[in-house]
Amino acid sequence: MISDKMKELTKNGSAIRAMFEDGKKMIAKLGKENVFDFSLGNPSIVPPESVKQAIIDILNEEEPMLVHGYMNNSGYEDVRKATADYINSQHGTAFTEENIVMTVGAASALNIALKATINPGDEVLLIAPYFGEYNNYINNYDGVPVVVSPDYERFSINFDEFEAKVSPKTKMVIINTPNNPTGAVYSESDLTRLADILNKKQAEYGTEIYLISDEPYREICFGGKKVPYLTKFYKNTFVAYSYSKSLSLPGERIGYLVINNEMSDFEEMAGALNVANRILGYVNAPSLMQRVAGRCVGQTADLSVYEENKDILYKALTEYGYEIVEPQGTFYMFPKCFTPDDKEFCTRAKEYGLVIVPGSNFACPGYFRIAFCVKKETLLNSLPAFKKLADSYR
Amino acid sequence: MISDKMKELTKNGSAIRAMFEDGKKMIAKLGKENVFDFSLGNPSIVPPESVKQAIIDILNEEEPMLVHGYMNNSGYEDVRKATADYINSQHGTAFTEENIVMTVGAASALNIALKATINPGDEVLLIAPYFGEYNNYINNYDGVPVVVSPDYERFSINFDEFEAKVSPKTKMVIINTPNNPTGAVYSESDLTRLADILNKKQAEYGTEIYLISDEPYREICFGGKKVPYLTKFYKNTFVAYSYSKSLSLPGERIGYLVINNEMSDFEEMAGALNVANRILGYVNAPSLMQRVAGRCVGQTADLSVYEENKDILYKALTEYGYEIVEPQGTFYMFPKCFTPDDKEFCTRAKEYGLVIVPGSNFACPGYFRIAFCVKKETLLNSLPAFKKLADSYR
B16 pLDDT band, cuts 50/70/90, is low
Partner B, chain A 177-216, Cβ-Cβ below 8 Å: 207-208
Given a cut of 70, whether residue A145 has pLDDT beyond it is: yes
What mean pLDDT is predicted for residues B114-141? 97
B90 pLDDT band, cuts 50/70/90, is very high
Residues of A in contact with B115 (CB under 8 A): 3, 5-6
Which pairs with CB-CB distance under 8 Å and at least 24 residues apart come from B166-169?
B166/B125, B166/B197, B166/B198, B166/B201, B166/B209, B167/B123, B167/B205, B168/B205, B168/B207, B169/B121, B169/B122, B169/B123, B169/B144
Does B249 touch chain A if contact means CB atoms closer than 8 Å? Answer: yes
pLDDT of residue B25: 87
In the predicted model, what is the mean pLDDT of chain B? 96
What HEC string does chain B produce?
Answer: CCCHHHHHHHHHHHHHHHHHHHHHHHHHHHCHHHCEECCCCCCCCCCCHHHHHHHHHHHHHCCHHHHCCCCCCCCCHHHHHHHHHHHHHHHCCCCCHHHEEEECHHHHHHHHHHHHHCCCCCEEEEECCCCCHHHHHHHHCCCEEEEECCCCCCCCCCHHHHHHHCCCCEEEEEEECCCCCCCCCCCHHHHHHHHHHHHHHHHHHCCCCEEEEECCCCCCECCCCCCCCHHHCCCCEEEEEECCCCCCCHHHCCEEEEECCCCCCHHHHHHHHHHHHHHCCCCCCCHHHHHHHHHHCCCCCCCHHHHHHHHHHHHHHHHCCCCCCCCCECCEECCECCCCCHHHHHHHHHHCCEECEEHHHHCCCCEEEEECCCCHHHHHHHHHHHHHHHHCCC
Q: Helical H runs in chain A?
A: 4-30, 49-61, 64-67, 77-91, 105-117, 133-139, 159-165, 188-205, 243-246, 266-279, 287-296, 304-319, 342-351, 376-391
Verify whether the Cβ–Cβ distance B253 to A282 is below 8 Å: yes
pLDDT of residue B301: 96
- The 10s digit of each residue's pLDDT in A291-312 is 999 999 999 999 999 999 999 9
B79 pLDDT band, cuts 50/70/90, is very high
- The 10s digit of each residue's pLDDT in B274-319 is 999 999 999 999 999 999 999 999 999 999 999 999 999 999 999 9
pLDDT of residue A13: 65
Contact B296, B54 (CB under 8 A): yes
Verify whether the Cβ–Cβ distance B288 to A248 is below 8 Å: no
What mean pLDDT is predicted for residues A5-34? 82
B87 pLDDT band, cuts 50/70/90, is very high
Given a cut of 90, whether residue B11 has pLDDT beyond it is: no
Residues of B in contact with A117 (CB under 8 A): 1-3
Residues of B in contact with A72 (CB under 8 A): none
Percent of chain A with pLDDT over 70: 98
CA distance A340 to A346: 11
B258 pLDDT band, cuts 50/70/90, is very high
In the predicted model, what is the mean pLDDT of chain A? 96
Give the gap in angstroms from C-alpha A206 to the nearest C-alpha of chain B.
12
A16 pLDDT band, cuts 50/70/90, is low
Contact B55, B288 (CB under 8 A): yes
Verify whether the Cβ–Cβ distance A286 to B10 is below 8 Å: no
pLDDT of residue B13: 65
Given a cut of 90, whether residue B208 has pLDDT beyond it is: yes
- The 10s digit of each residue's pLDDT in A191-244 is 999 999 999 999 999 999 999 999 999 999 999 999 999 999 999 999 999 999
Verify whether the Cβ–Cβ distance B279 to A4 is below 8 Å: no
Does B56 touch chain A if contact means CB atoms closer than 8 Å? Answer: yes
Percent of chain B with pLDDT over 90: 92
Verify whether the Cβ–Cβ distance B10 to A271 is below 8 Å: yes
pLDDT of residue A24: 82
- The 10s digit of each residue's pLDDT in A316-344 is 999 999 999 999 999 999 999 999 999 99
Q: Which of A272, A239, A271, A275 is nearest to A258 (CA)?
A: A239
Percent of chain A with pLDDT over 90: 93
